[in-house]
A and B are shown apart, each in its own frame.
Chain A
Amino acid sequence: MPRIGVYICHCGENIAGAVNVEEVRKYAENLPGVVVARNYLFMCSDPGQELIKQDIRNGLIDRVVVAACTPRTHEPIFRKTVEDGGLNKYLLEMANIRDQDSWPHWHDKEGATEKAKKLVASAVAKAAFLEPLEDRFVEVTRASLVVGGGVAGMFAALDLANMGYKVYLVEKSPSLGGNMAKLDKTFPTNDCSACILTPIMVQVGTHPNIELLTYSEVESVEGSIGNFKVKVRKKQTYIDWDKCTGCGDCVNACPAKVPNEFNEGMDNRKAIYIEFPQAVPKRAVVDIEHCLSCAKRTIGTQPRIHSKTGEPILAPCEKACKTGACDRSREYNPEGEIVELNVGTIIVATGYKVMDKAPFKEYSPQSPNVITAMQLERILSATGPTEGHFHRPSDGEKPETIAFISCVGSRDKRYHTYCSKVCCMYMLKEARLIKEKYPETNIYIFFIDVRTGGKDFEEYYNYCRNLGIKMLRGRVGAVDELPGDRLRVRAYDVDLGAPVELEADLVVLATAIEPAPDLDELGRKLGITCGSEGFLKEMHTKLYPVETPVKGIYIAGCAQGPKDIPESVSQARAASSAAAVPLTLGKVIVEPLISEVNQRKCTGCGTCVQLCPYSAISLVEDKGRSRSKIDEAMCAGCGVCAAACPSGVITLHGFTNAQIHAQIKALAC
């Protein structure tokens, strides 16, 4: 007969504020199998844990039920307590009387107390059937995959590489750099973005431990912590990168014109192009969709021969290439090439996208002089379409009056309800850069709240105001086009208590930070989820901010939510250090809460094989009969197979039929 100890936590007022803990304790004392029931203010604290350990050491109990908060954060803590007391750590069951009881039923104290009793009774019933289990260990592949080559991904990769681990860095664009490469200067110190970023790009590009896979995307991920098998699709560049020197001769020869993504569509690039002059790796790619196939040189065909000269007729890009890297006879392969990687841990740092201005009809997005803040970054940048000359798009005139509009698409139920966090500061920065260079410019910033939470940010704000940048509290209601490329901005100044209007030459929209395209799809491949706002969800906002529910997969930078460069870098370095832990240990514990087949009784129907989401089950021949076999390393313990087995011969350890039936029965009493 098991001897069960029940330990009920007050969680300060979190539980005790709604649940009559003493009443639940008395109730628990009389449950079958329970020999002792105690309560304490904070059961997870040292004195609380000691209560449990002492009862185990005194031989009083051999099963433990903790009625407290969520096992998601606290099960590991109490398992360690049980183990330190001298029991197998899987002889623990938790009843979540906080998240599932006191919190949702806060205003029904009686009901909450009754529900707590049921939850405790249910956990006690299961505890009677608990069995000791042994941890498994798996060897770790000492390599890591970083997805995303922006500032976060690069720092994560560099840190791991500097620790001596092999790092694969996958980036979907032809070059490293991400969004930061597009910025002119960066707050709060106004460092030139290129000056601080490009040396990092070079370090990453030349690090002996980093294998760069640019112009590539993650295709699929299998396996688990320690041993992920990742398929990466290297998109076809149609250029031999081993031969390409990045000289740009092919680019100059190309006659096609395509809106330039790097300059936010404000000028054109060619169909064969190098992403930007400081690209790493500096290699050309062919944008096959926009390629004109000059001289009928479709990729993958042999050149025609000139009837008079007998020479092959080549496309201009081929003719211009001195190294033979640009050879249109090469195979046409739109699918690209699949590379398989084995890694122990994965860091996702896929960054963000800036929202487009088009949806905001009230701000005349059709006007070329209504631009996004990212477009203004490109206009201000020395590598941008105007080479840093401050011209407005419609006619190249220098703007005299500029209006910035904050929270465009942020704090907006139609688009994104969250605050994009960086806009207040980058608007101030852009305004300051202009005002310092052209003090006569009139600059107005229309805001709802100026949010400058960050080291030295408030000082930056005050500095900008002292420069004469005018701040108006109130969302702009309308931007109308006027003759002469002028724009009329209409708002209500809350501080003045009056409607205001302004004629501006340039209107800058601080459009929202959005999750990178296809982030949810990548999340699905990795088994991690996005929150309602579309960014990847961390394990715990405060305590496990770079971990995800999938062990061995970590997140950093704007993939997790809007953040500035200092925060992205901090998080990247935190993620790299978390991702290095399993690599350093060389082996990881895998919980034994996995499925096992009783092969003797298996009929080999194969139902489980089809259902397993982790491809962990296969059919094997055994004495002339087909039987299912579960790969322990791949099983994630989801229990689908155990629930579906028509013969009932699959056991999910930790959640056996006997345990679950007892649990349900106790709830029904």
Chain B
Amino acid sequence: MSSEQAARGVINLSESDSSLVNEIKELGGEELMECIQCAKCAAACPMVLAGFPFFNKRIIQAIFLGLRDALLDDSSIWACQSCNRCTEVCPREVNPFEIIQAMRRVAIREFALPTLSIEGLKSLYDTGHAVYLAGAGNTRVKVGLPEKPPSTVANPDALKELQAVIRKTALADLGIIPMDEPGV
């Protein structure tokens, strides 16, 4: 999208990228083409209520039209709360949630991801949790729980195994987060 058109808000279909549809299908959005834009998913989506410009139905339409840049320039795809209501209500078995996930994969391949996501990925690699509250130990003890949860956090060997697995995923090729040394 040229800057002039972006300013006018007009989307130029002639500059669209028709390879996006296949890319989404390959990255987990297999049922993409089943969508007939009925908008039932949008009626169930909290992103719509929160006012994001792109939400399940619109993300799918943008993919149909190959509007890769428009989707990557916007933070909407990262706002999905993974509530899965769209997938539950979709009468065409499109699985809109998976399509949003697939679109996130497309974005990550192009390093178009928010800082917050990098932190989440790093935390996943370092602790085994995308969200880990390191300072929660005292609170846990107060309510009678062990200081560390019985997960990778408490089990360094399991963490090493997890890190080994992550190093074999596409994440390692992308090099978004440092993976050289074991964490914690």
- Is B a genuine binding partner of A? yes
CB distance from B87 to the nearest CB of A (A): 19
Q: Is the interface of A mostly helix, strand, loop or mixed?
A: strand
Q: A500: nearest residue on chain B (CB-CB)?
A: B11
Q: Is A355 an interface residue (CB 8 A)?
A: no
Q: Are B58 and A501 in contact (CB under 8 A)?
A: no
Q: Report Cα–Cα, A503/B14, bound state, in Å.
A: 6
Q: Is A468 an interface residue (CB 8 A)?
A: yes
Q: Are B21 and A468 in contact (CB under 8 A)?
A: yes
Q: Report Cα–Cα, A472/B65, bound state, in Å.
A: 9
Which residues of chain A are within 8 angstroms of B37 by Cβ–Cβ distance? Answer: 471, 473, 495
Q: Are A465 and B33 in contact (CB under 8 A)?
A: yes
Q: Report Cα–Cα, A125/B144, bound state, in Å.
A: 97
Q: Is B176 an interface residue (CB 8 A)?
A: no
A residues 108-162 with Cβ under 8 Å of B?
A: none
CB distance from B18 to the nearest CB of A (A): 7
Which residues of chain B are within 8 angstroms of A493 by Cβ–Cβ distance? Answer: 11, 61, 65
Q: Is A444 an interface residue (CB 8 A)?
A: yes
Which residues of chain B are within 8 angstroms of A473 by Cβ–Cβ distance? Answer: 37
Which residues of chain B are within 8 angstroms of A500 by Cβ–Cβ distance? Answer: 10-13, 65
A468, A472, A498 — most chain B CB neighbours (10 Å): A498
Q: Are A444 and B33 in contact (CB under 8 A)?
A: no
Q: Is B62 an interface residue (CB 8 A)?
A: yes
Which residues of chain B are within 8 angstroms of A471 by Cβ–Cβ distance? Answer: 37, 64
B10-29 interface code vs A (CB 8 A; 1 in, 0 out): 11111000100100000000
CB distance from A435 to the nearest CB of B (A): 12
Q: Is A484 an interface residue (CB 8 A)?
A: no
Q: Is B57 an interface residue (CB 8 A)?
A: yes
Q: Which one of A465, A495, A499 lies within 8 Å of B61 (CB-CB)?
A: A495
Q: Which one of A495, A498, A501 lies within 8 Å of B57 (CB-CB)?
A: A495
CB distance from B129 to the nearest CB of A (A): 37
A445-475 interface code vs B (CB 8 A; 1 in, 0 out): 0000000000000000010011010111100
B38-57 interface code vs A (CB 8 A; 1 in, 0 out): 00000000000000010001
CB distance from B160 to the nearest CB of A (A): 45
Q: A499: nearest residue on chain B (CB-CB)?
A: B10
Q: Is B135 an interface residue (CB 8 A)?
A: no
Q: Are B58 and A497 in contact (CB under 8 A)?
A: yes
Which residues of chain A are within 8 angstroms of B34 by Cβ–Cβ distance? Answer: 462
Q: Is A502 an interface residue (CB 8 A)?
A: yes
Q: Is A383 an interface residue (CB 8 A)?
A: no
Q: Which one of B9, B53, B65 lies within 8 Å of A470 (CB-CB)?
A: B65
Which residues of chain A are within 8 angstroms of B10 by Cβ–Cβ distance? Answer: 498-501
CB distance from B112 to the nearest CB of A (A): 19
Which residues of chain A are within 8 angstroms of B61 by Cβ–Cβ distance? Answer: 493, 495-496
Q: Are B9 and A498 in contact (CB under 8 A)?
A: yes
A578-610 interface code vs B (CB 8 A; 1 in, 0 out): 000000000000000000000000000000000
A479-509 interface code vs B (CB 8 A; 1 in, 0 out): 0000000000000010111111111000000
Q: Report Cα–Cα, A578/B58, bound state, in Å.
A: 52
Which residues of chain A are within 8 angstroms of B21 by Cβ–Cβ distance? Answer: 468
Q: Are B13 and A502 in contact (CB under 8 A)?
A: yes
Q: B33: nearest residue on chain A (CB-CB)?
A: A466
Q: Which one of B11, B57, B58 lies within 8 Å of A499 (CB-CB)?
A: B11
Q: Is A179 an interface residue (CB 8 A)?
A: no
Q: Report Cα–Cα, A470/B36, bound state, in Å.
A: 11
CB distance from A237 to the nearest CB of B (A): 51
Which residues of chain A are within 8 angstroms of B53 by Cβ–Cβ distance? Answer: 497
Q: Is A442 an interface residue (CB 8 A)?
A: yes
Q: A496: nearest residue on chain B (CB-CB)?
A: B61
Q: Report Cα–Cα, A104/B12, bound state, in Å.
A: 52
Q: Report Cα–Cα, A496/B11, bound state, in Å.
A: 10
CB distance from B33 to the nearest CB of A (A): 5
Q: Report Cα–Cα, A472/B34, bound state, in Å.
A: 15
Q: Is A618 an interface residue (CB 8 A)?
A: no
Q: Which one of B13, B36, B64 lies within 8 Å of A501 (CB-CB)?
A: B13
14 additional contacts (CB under 8 A) given A497-B58, A499-B8, A501-B11:
A462-B36, A470-B65, A471-B64, A472-B65, A473-B37, A493-B61, A496-B65, A498-B9, A499-B9, A500-B10, A500-B12, A500-B13, A500-B65, A501-B13
27 A-B residue contacts at CB 8 Å?
A: A442-B18, A462-B33, A465-B33, A468-B21, A470-B65, A471-B37, A471-B64, A472-B65, A473-B37, A493-B11, A493-B65, A495-B37, A495-B61, A496-B11, A496-B61, A496-B67, A497-B58, A498-B10, A498-B11, A499-B8, A500-B11, A500-B12, A501-B12, A501-B13, A501-B14, A502-B12, A502-B13
Write the residues of chain A forming the contact surface with B, with a CB cutoff of 8 angstroms: 401, 442, 444, 462, 465-466, 468, 470-473, 493, 495-503
Write the residues of chain B forming the contact surface with A, with a CB cutoff of 8 angstroms: 8-14, 18, 21, 33-34, 36-37, 53, 57-58, 61-62, 64-65, 67
5 closest cross-chain pairs (CB), A and B: A502-B13, A495-B61, A503-B14, A500-B11, A499-B10
